[in-house]
Structures are given as structure tokens and as C-alpha cells.
Amino acid sequence: ARARPLQRSPRAHGLRWAQHPPMMAARSGHQSQRGSPVTLNVYDVEVSCEIFVLNRALRPLGSGAFHVGVEVIGREWSFQGTKAAITGVFCSRPRECDGYHYVESVPMGLTRLSEGAILKLIETLEAEWPGRKYNPMYNNCAHFCQRLCELLGVCNCMPKWVIQLAATGRDLVEIKDHAKAAIDEMGCV
């Protein structure tokens, strides 16, 4: 996969939230008495013809290589790996994440948290999700989005087709590790 430009949260740039007003997208809902809408935005994991074709072939089978972000209060939050000792949490305009091709949005529910509470929550997650801890099978953008949705008080069940490829990869690695341990225990070469 080609390298994507790093997008950092305003905090990672040393900016205060007060200096960064919400990026209200045309389709973003404003907070009502019932709450603010939370949406999972899904992207092809890379902008290439091969990934586009692969995902269109795998989707009917319940799988694919996807990047995801959670849209709330006019911003989209996600997680990516970094080599530097900084957070992997980043913010982008909804449905416009650099380096990815937008596919679709999945409504996750309404959060009753205020904008201020959501921003405090993101600040906490920035510390808990360093970019160096990114792992495509065990600690990726879907895991981050699942945790964020849980903390927002909405459905935290990622669509299976979004997480299936990483889960299959994880299962294969674990099967290989268990088989190797069993072979080592038996003394086989």
C-alpha cells in the first residue's frame, strides 16, 4: 500500500479546539434534543483501480479492504499508524479522508453527548491510541471506531463486511502460531 499523507488532529498540531470551529458538512445533522447523529463512513483502503475492483468483488462475499471513520459534530475521526511518537487519532472533513476513496455511510445512532464532552472524549482517546500501536489485524481504524462509537453511546457493532478481512487475517496468524507451538512442543522439525 502506498503511503498516505499524515493527517493530525488539531491537538497534535498544538492548536486549541476553540481555534478550530466544527467542519459542518452539508449532510451532517445538527444536535437536536434527541442528540447528534453518529455515522460510520467507509472508504476503500487505498485509491487504486485494483483495490476498487477487489472490494467490489469481495463485498458480495461479506468482506473487503476498508478504512473507516466516525462522523459526529461535523467532523470525522479515525486512527492510523505513525512512526513518530504521536497520536494515531486524526480528524478530517466527513467523507473526504485524504488517500482513500469514499464508498458509503452507515448510520450508527444518536449520541446524547454535548460537543464539549465529545471533544474531551477525543482528547482522551488521542492519548490512548498512539500511532505506533497501529496493527492492521489487532489495532486498526475499525477497532478505534468501534471504541469511539461505544463511548459515544451508540451501536458499536461494526458492519461485518467492514471488519471481515482483518478478522480473517488475524485468525490465520493465530492458527499459524498455535500450529507452530504444537510442532515445537512435539519436537518436530
Q: What is the dihedral of CA 86, 92, 94, 98, to 10 degrees?
A: -100
Bridge partners, 79 (sequence order): 89
Q: Which residues are catalytic?
A: 67, 141
Look at residues 110, 108, 105, 74 and name the one whose alpha carbon lies nearest to residue 91. Answer: 74
Q: Starting at the edge strand that comes first in sequence, how are the strands of the sheet with 66-72 ordered?
A: 89-92, 75-79, 66-72, 36-44, 101-111
